[in-house]
Structure 1
Amino acid sequence: SERPIVQMKAILQLDGCWYAGQHGFEIKGAAGTDVDYQVAEVYRPALVEAYGALKDMLAGIQGTTVTDNTYSIAVEYSKCAPYERGGVEAAVTEVLGLSPTLRRTDGDKTLHLRPRVEWNRGRAVEWMSQRFEALHSDDDDSLLPVYIGLEQGSAAAEGGGPGDDDQSMYEVIKGRMGGLGILVSEPVDAAVSPDDTAAGFTISNGQAEVRQFLETLVQAWYSTRNLPLWAKFRGSKKK
């Protein structure tokens, strides 16, 4: 998640979960483990400086919010007037010009400033899976990664950094980890071109559909553990 782990824990209230916050820049294992990994602590001074500069520069543009998420700065402009958005982009570009250790990635009407480091969501999940398997090496069960994301297209980060959108996660989960990449898209009758996404499956938009899928996945895992989970998936595989 792009949220800090402290916020995620407050929302989910699940001690048995592993958490990756700040787009994977902070990782904490489940209760009872000693996993606590901070990837970019050295970049905090640059992020604090960028946060202060953006707060000052964007104070006069209504509808913008600047949030310090510890290991990233989020500039949201969803409520900003269309003619003001160029000013938001210009401010972010100016701050990045003064902060060579940071880079920009784009979200849904949000611009993110993050450390210029070879780390992203995909790398974070790979690291977590390796640590998880090391801690559970005596278990008979194999690990099946499942990633559910919202972004369909690929969007590499500006400044030469690795892409951090959901597309990069689909590629890691499917290509290197043999898991399930799932795109939460429009209703299933809306076609999704294979060229537009690396996700292997789609499910309808909305929390209810995602919850139904997760409940089905858990039930399938416990009731028929020897069958492939692909057979239990109720979404639509892309053509």
Structure 2
Amino acid sequence: MTNQNVVVSDAKSGINMAITVAVSGFSTAAQKPPAVPGTYITISKKKLLQNLDINSGTRINAWVDSMRASSPTHIKSSPHLSDHDHNSWTMHHPSALDMFEQITNASKGKQIVMFLDYDGTLSPIVDDPDRAFMSDQMRATVRKLARYFPTAIVSGRCRDKVYSFVRLAELYYAGSHGMDIKGPSKGSKYKKGAEAVLFQPASEYLPMIDEVYKALLEVTKDTPGAKVENNKFCLSVHFRCVDEKKWSELAKQVGSVLEGYPNLRLTQGRKVLEIRPTIKWDKGKALEFLLESLGYANCTDVFPVYIGDDRTDEDAFKVLRERGQGFGILVSKTPKDTNASYSLQEPSEVMAFLRRLVEWKKLSLRRQFRIRRRLEEMKMSL
């Protein structure tokens, strides 16, 4: 059990009070990230800068190769998988829409809790991250979803930023890859107590993050298309609009800044490099914390469902597999190594799945109501 700083916000007075609470099972001690394939770049700083050099003008370092591998452009242009390989992947990660009945059967008698990534899941991936708007139809769908299930948005974005996109006060929000968590401010029957609780395990890193943000802005200012985003407890360097010939240069720029900050680590998402504190905290830890906050830490009758499209969502998928509860759904048009159990191809399929889930729950409640009414009528007739 470890002590964590939690900020309790009094909605009436607007005053934030910092308190320390004991949180079981969560450690935020700074340490080297675990060696999980495909999740962390574990090259030493010295070796990283050496690897960033281009040999003979054609060979680039493993980091830039990884940047290429994550590029949707390269995914589309890469050789097609054989039908056998594709079918094998689909067999192990079938469509959540096709397997909907099996999924709902597995959840019977349990409380479904929904966890949703934002970019690429609720909204399409776009060139300008500031314009990753969700559709009105998706917002209406998520609003209905939250009426029937506790629902959280878990994103690498700054919590305030993702809230400005979603604009639903009845949800839980976990920004900065789970390092900035806030419960619903109103309208949720699942909310615990009258206060909105903020959980921010990386607060001590804020001055360092701001310092690195300014440094990255400076070193990348002459790289066309590069965009540095301050997500409060982590930073994102978007290279979606950077000419591929400039990727090595951009990688050197980021590496030169990080060389002086051993307490920060580098991870990678879809066309984005992300800098985070070296605390042992990720979207999987955020999922566990939110389940505990909802009172489901050690329950066997909870059924968490996590939907996401990014490498960082794999931490949550892995947690669900290890817990043996619920399942993860990967949003992807192409086969990928994943701990998710099911798949959906794009946000439109995510919306279709969420709508079916809402309709299934409504029918279940109606059925339960009819059964209760019949039982009451039978009692009255005796």
What's the TM-score once normalised by structure 1's chain length? 0.78
* Residue number in structure 1 paired with 2:304: 145
Give deviations 1:161-191, integer Å, cap 9, x for gaps: xxxx1222111123215012101122xxx7x
Tell me if structure 2 keeps the 8 A contact 1:25–1:120.
yes
**Shift in CA distance, 211/11, structure 1 to aligned 2, threshold 3 Å:** same
Between the aligned partners of 2:171 and 2:212, the Cα distance in structure 1 is 32
Fraction of identical pairs, as percent: 31
Separation of aligned partners in 1, 2:339 and 2:309: 12
Contact 2:296-2:302 within 8 A present in 1 as well: no
- Measured after TM superposition, the shift of residue 208 of structure 1 is 1.6
**Counterpart contact for 1:46–1:101, Cα < 8 Å:** no
Give the distance between the partners of 1:218 and 1:180, measured in 2 at CA.
17
1:182 is the counterpart of 2:329: yes
In structure 2, the partner of 1:22 is 176
Instruction: Say whether 1:202 aligns with 2:343.
Output: yes
The residue identity in structure 1 corresponding to 2:160 is: V
| One of 234, 237, 242 as aligned partner of 1:72 | 234
Q: Which residue number corresponds to residue 59 of structure 1?
A: 221
Q: CA deviation at 1:10?
A: 2.1
Aligned twin of 1:231: none
Q: Distance in 2 between matches of 1:172 and 1:33?
A: 28
Determine whether 1:117 maps to 2:279: yes
Give the structure with higher Rg (CA).
2
C-alpha distance 22-124 of structure 1, shift in aligned 2 (>3 A) = same
| 2:318 aligns with one of 171, 174, 177 | 171
- Report the Cα distance in structure 1 between the residues aligned to 2:223 and 2:162, rounded to whole angstroms: 29
Normalising by structure 2, report the TM-score: 0.50
Structure 1 unpaired stretches of 5+: 156-164, 228-239
8 Å Cα contact 2:328/2:340 also seen in 1? yes
Deviations 1:126-168 (A, max 9, x none): 0110111169x9xx994321111113xxx6xxxxxxxxx1222
Separation (CA, whole Å) in 2 of partners of 1:27 and 1:10: 15
For residue 217 of structure 1, report the CA deviation from its aligned partner: 1.2
Corresponding residue number in structure 2 for 1:211: 351
CA distance in 1, matches of 2:322, 2:195: 28
**DSSP-derived class of the 1:16 partner:** coil
Using the TM superposition, name which of 176-185 and 126-135 deviates more. 126-135
> Is 11-20 or 114-123 further displaced after alignment?
11-20
Question: Once the 2 structures are TM-superposed, how far is the Cα of residue 3 of structure 1 from its aligned partner?
Answer: 1.6
1:142 & 1:57 partners in 2: Cα distance?
Answer: 51
Aligned residues: 204
Q: CA deviation at 1:19?
A: 0.8
Unaligned runs of 5+ in 2: 1-154, 186-193, 368-382
Q: Counterpart of 1:9?
A: 163
Contact persistence 1:145–1:177 (CA under 8 A): no
- Structure with the bigger RCO (C-alpha within 8 Å, sep 6+) is 2
Q: Secondary structure at the match of 2:294?
A: helix
The answer on 1:221 being equivalent to 2:361 is: yes
